[in-house]
A = this chain, B = another copy of it.
Amino acid sequence: MDIASLVGFILAYVIIGSAIMLGGPFILFVNAPSILIVVGGTFAVTLMRVTMANFLGSFKIGLKGFFYKLDKPQNLIDETVELASVARKEGILALEGREISNSFLERGIGLCIDGHAPEVVNNLLSKDINMSIERHTIGADMFKAMAVYAPAMGMIGTLVGLVQMLSNMSDPASIGPSMAVALLTTLYGAVIANAFASPLAEKLILISGYEKLNKSLILESIAGIQEGTNPRVLKQLLNAYLPESKRQEEE
């Protein structure tokens, strides 16, 4: 598991919290109605633009941004090259019953064993890739939407506070604190958008891209296995998916 998102997330709040406490009491920055309008309002308008199923599913997808685990392309290459060697020597049916670490690779090998033609296998797996990208996109879109609506809700909250403050300026001493409270919603909105929703959405897009790359690698290796490509040639072909520094030299 890559810990970048989790470390970044915790760090961001530690930093913002420290900056606040260096300048005064933390309690100044906690206001229940402000939290209600920004957090509640953001959830409400985000809910408006999706389906209930998407909305509920997004929490699970969000966690994936923090705790996902991707197969390393290097390992996938090693595994498929080995499968290709076996298939070339003993026929594709020899792969039946083998333990395969990646479920997409397993599905592809299964289709080969079932005797489907290469075009059919390619067609089915390609559609699988496209559909899974589309589903990931919906998750990322929801967090992107939150990154747009949270600052908007923050601004709405601040405007509400300003209108109330300006309508009643009989006590000059209360203007400062009232304005401070009004600004809190803008602050909440900016924090939610920039230290939660927007980076999370981008992370989900990044993960989706890596998954797509892995699946493309698998798609290509399955085509190679079906065509009985020489495992050494297949390895060279798949090595293009790795940065030069990580390519294993063939001795």
Contacts and interface: CB of A to CB of B under 8 A. Distances in A.
Interface of A: 2-5, 7-9, 11-12, 15-16, 18-20, 22-24, 28-29, 33-34, 36-37, 40-41, 43-55, 120, 123-124, 127-128, 131, 134-135, 145, 148-149, 152-153, 155-157, 159-169, 176-177, 179-180, 183-184, 186-187, 190-191, 193-195, 198-200, 202-203, 206, 213, 233, 236-237, 240-243
A128 B240 contact: yes
Given A9-B48, A19-B37, 13 more contacts: A4-B55, A8-B45, A11-B44, A15-B41, A24-B164, A28-B163, A29-B160, A131-B243, A148-B198, A159-B186, A163-B180, A163-B184, A166-B180
Given A167-B28, A187-B156, A8 B47 contact: yes
B180 A167 contact: yes
**Of A11, A45, A55, which is in contact with the most chain B CB atoms at under 10 Å from its CB?**
A45
A157 B19 contact: yes
Nearest to A111: B236
B127 A240 contact: yes
